[in-house]
Structures are given as structure tokens and as C-alpha cells.
Amino acid sequence: MTDKKGLKTTKNDYPTYHCSKCDYTTCDISNWKRHIKTKKHNTDKRLTNTDTLGKKRLKTTKNWHCECGRSYKHRQSLFSHQKKCAFIIGCSEIIVKPLEDESKDDNLKDILDVMKDLIAQNKNLTESLRAEKERKSLTISGNNNNMNSHNTNFNIQLFLNEDCKNATSIQDFARQIKITMQDISLLKNNEPKAITNIITENLKDYTETERPFHHHKKKWYVKDEEVGWDKEGKYKGENIIKNVKNQVSKAAPKVFVDNHPNFLTDEKQGQEYAETVAAAYRDVKNSDKSKILKSIEGECEITN
């Protein structure tokens, strides 16, 4: 239907502006304004009543216009209308969504750029590591032409100097060992087993690189608190037994007394005390030393 002012409307569509003189129809007020200023429209000065009324209507009601073509006398009326105007909402969806998509595209592009940089950095790092590995392989391959004994010494020395530089000394290890009444009782009848048990139990408090002695290819390497590591393995582990047995000699009487406070008045306990002290202070036989070292090899073997 067409109203008196050149506005053609339907029940469900936006308002339509119709110029019967030029047979021109539009739903956009800006297009309508542009049309009534065209040469074609103004060639004949005799404007139809529809054009005149439409033009007057536009002039008198253009205070507050909505993009959909509707006009309002009051700003508040326009504001209320715009909140539910289907034309504005439709345009907003058309305009905003591409902006959101564009923003997402920009973010995705930034993420892809960062990923490309990380991949490039990782590739460079991988190539550097591969080159370093190849260089070391060539160095090791060259060293293999030397005598096997020299190569073995080099490896064990590197292990002792670098990995075990903070290891405890054999003297500190001995000073800190803990012995039990069971160890003391065993000492009288089976000294090799008693000392073996004392060493292996106390080694559990240390990691491989913290312990004061190692066994590698039939040689013992012991760290002394004054001279450091015996890197040649020439003492055959005697320092281990010597320091441990000295500490057992000092600690055994006290451990016995702590467990037998009546040994001075109890004849049987007094006899046991005398036997304990004697066993603690006697020297370890060479044959027993070999048994002890053989027994603890497995606990001290370097697995590298």
C-alpha cells in the first residue's frame, strides 16, 4: 500500500519511498533524497502532489532518522526504536561478523607466525646438536686408535673428576657409619661378613656419584680427604677396609655398653664385652680383606 506522502509500506517490509512521476521506488531514505535532487526528477517543475507532500514530509520530519527510513520527532523515540529495529540489527550482523572473522584471522596468523618461528628455532637447534654429536663421535673414534688401557683410564678419570667431584671421602664415610649390636656380635665369629654388612648398609645413604669408592674393571678407586681420588686404582681397596675397621674399633665398645648397661656387674656380659673389644681391635687378615672387597664389588661397580 502507498501512503499520502510517497511512502509505500507492507505489513512485514521496511517503508518504501515511491516517486510516481519518475516511477522510482526505494526503501533507503538516502537514495530517496538523492533521487529528488536528480535532473530527471526536476526537469518538469510541475511536481505531483505525491512528490511535494513527500518532500515536505521529509523536511518536516528529518530531525531524528533511523537507517531503516523511519523518522521520529523525539530522540528518545528514535532510541527506543533502534533497540529493536530489524534493519539495524541485520546490518550490525553483516558488518560486525566480518570484523570478528577478520580479528580471528589476524590472531590465527599471529599464532601461525609464532609456530613457524618455533619450528625454525627447533630445526636450528636439532642441526646444531646433530653436528655436535657427529664431532664428538669423530673424536671418540679417533681416540679408539690409542691403547685400550689409556682409553679406559681417560673415561674413569673423566667420571671421577666431573661426576664425582663432590663425593664424600673415605674418612668422612667411615666417621659417619652406623653399626648395630648385631654387627658387633657377628664381628667375633665372622669378621668378613660383619664388615661387609656394615659397608653395604651404610652405602645405601649415598648415590653413585656421592660414594667415596668405586670398582671398575678389576680396580678400586678411593677418594682420600687430603689427596682426592686415587685415579690410578693402585691401592686395591685397602683404604676402604682400613678406615672402616678403625671406626668399628672406636664405636663397638660404646654400642655394646649402650645395649648392656649392667656389663660391669654381670659376669657373662662382662665376658662378652671383653670379647667384643678384642674382636674390634684386632687386625683384619689379608685373606679376609680379599673376601670383603669381593663381596662389595657388586655394590660399587660403575655401570657406565
C-beta separation of 279 from 188 below 8 A? yes
Return the number of other C-beta atoms located less than 10 Å from residue 11's C-beta.
5
Distance CA 68, CA 71 (A): 9
Summarize the confidence of residues 109-130 as an average pLDDT. Answer: 78
CA distance 167 to 266: 45
| C-alpha cell at position 39 | 535532473
Residue 116 pLDDT > 80, yes or no?
no
Q: CA end-to-end span of the chain, whole Å?
A: 97
With vertex at residue 255, the alpha carbon angle to CA 253 and CA 257, rounded to the nearest 5 degrees, is 70
Whether 60 shows a pLDDT value over 60: the answer reads no
Q: List C-alpha distances in Å: 30 to 5, 35, 126.
A: 16, 9, 64
49: pLDDT strictly greater than 50: no
At 55, the pLDDT band (50, 70, 90 cuts) reads very low
The pLDDT assigned to 179 comes to: 94
Tally the C-alpha atoms within 13 A of residue 39's C-alpha that lie toward its C-beta: 0
Rounded mean pLDDT, 187-193: 92
The per-residue pLDDT for 103 is 62
CA angle 249, 237, 300 (to 5 degrees): 100
Residue 9 confidence (pLDDT) above 60: no
Give the residue among 300, 302, 301 at the shortest CA–CA distance from 204: 300
| Helix or strand holding residue 71 (H, E) | strand 71-72
Q: What is the pTM of this model?
A: 0.50
The answer, yes or no, to whether residue 78 has pLDDT greater than 90, is: no
Write the single-letter amino acid at 62: K
Reply yes or no on whether the pLDDT at 14 is more than 70.
no
- Write the Ramachandran bin of 116: left for phi over 0, alpha for psi from -120 to 50, otherwise beta: alpha
